[in-house]
Amino acid sequence: MNSRAQMGFIGEDLISLLVIVLALAGFFVFINTLFSVHVTGNAESDVYRRTWMLADFLSTEWAYTDSYNVTHARLLDTEKTCSQCPSIPELNLSISVKDLRENKTLCTCGPPVEGKTARLPTALRYNNTNTHPGILEVKATR
């Protein structure tokens, strides 16, 4: 009798199945990497966006209000700065106000943080005749 050994239905297609499994594994690794990069990028840009929004909010919150009840944006009242330190539950914040003319830090809120930084140019009002250039610096990280 002339008998040939048969490998069976899986054995004949073993190489094809191996190629398909490896292709699917590569596809899922690619999708996972793409999704991870997308989520990480969105999280970083979200922290950066929140940092800038907080800097803008603080420049208005700590702004000088004159006798006519007019608020002057980005003209910080040195008596209001750092009087109330804001917090965002999911972010670690460090806020500082720097006087550029005297090259000193007026106040700091929060622990030192290395993260996304927003530096907003402002003016610092000391009294009716004394105004210095300044920087409102907000650093944030998750």
Q: Is residue 3 part of a domain?
A: no
Mean pLDDT across 54-69:
82
Domain-embedded: residue 50:
yes
Amino acid 87: pLDDT:
80
Q: In this structure, is residue 46 part of a structural domain? A: yes
Instruction: Please indicate, yes or no, if residue 4 is contained in any of the structural domains.
Output: no
Domain range spanning residue 50? 9-141
Question: 24 — phi, psi (to 5°)?
Answer: -65, -40
Task: Provide the pLDDT for residue 10.
Answer: 67
Confidence of residue 27 (pLDDT cuts 50, 70, 90): very high
Q: Which residues contact 142 (CB under 8 A, 6 or more apart)?
A: 43, 47, 90, 91, 92, 115
pLDDT at residue 1 tops 60: no
Give the pLDDT confidence score for residue 131 in this predicted structure. Answer: 87
pLDDT band at 4 (very low <50, low <70, confident <90, very high): low
Q: Is the entire prediction scored with pTM above 0.85?
A: no
pLDDT score recorded for residue 41: 80
Is 45 within a domain? yes
Give, in order, the Cα–Cα distances in Å from 25 to each of 12, 16, 80.
Answer: 22, 14, 58
In a domain, 42, yes or no: yes
Q: Kindly report, residue by residue over 86-141, the tens digit of the pLDDT.
A: 888 888 888 899 999 999 998 888 888 888 888 999 988 888 888 889 999 999 88
Q: What are phi and psi of 21, to 5 degrees?
A: -65, -45
Q: Does position 82 have pLDDT exceeding 70, yes or no? A: yes
pLDDT of residue 7: 62
Is 122 a domain residue? yes
Q: Is residue 2 part of a domain?
A: no
Query: How many domains does the chain divide into?
Result: 1
User: What pLDDT does residue 9 have?
Assistant: 67
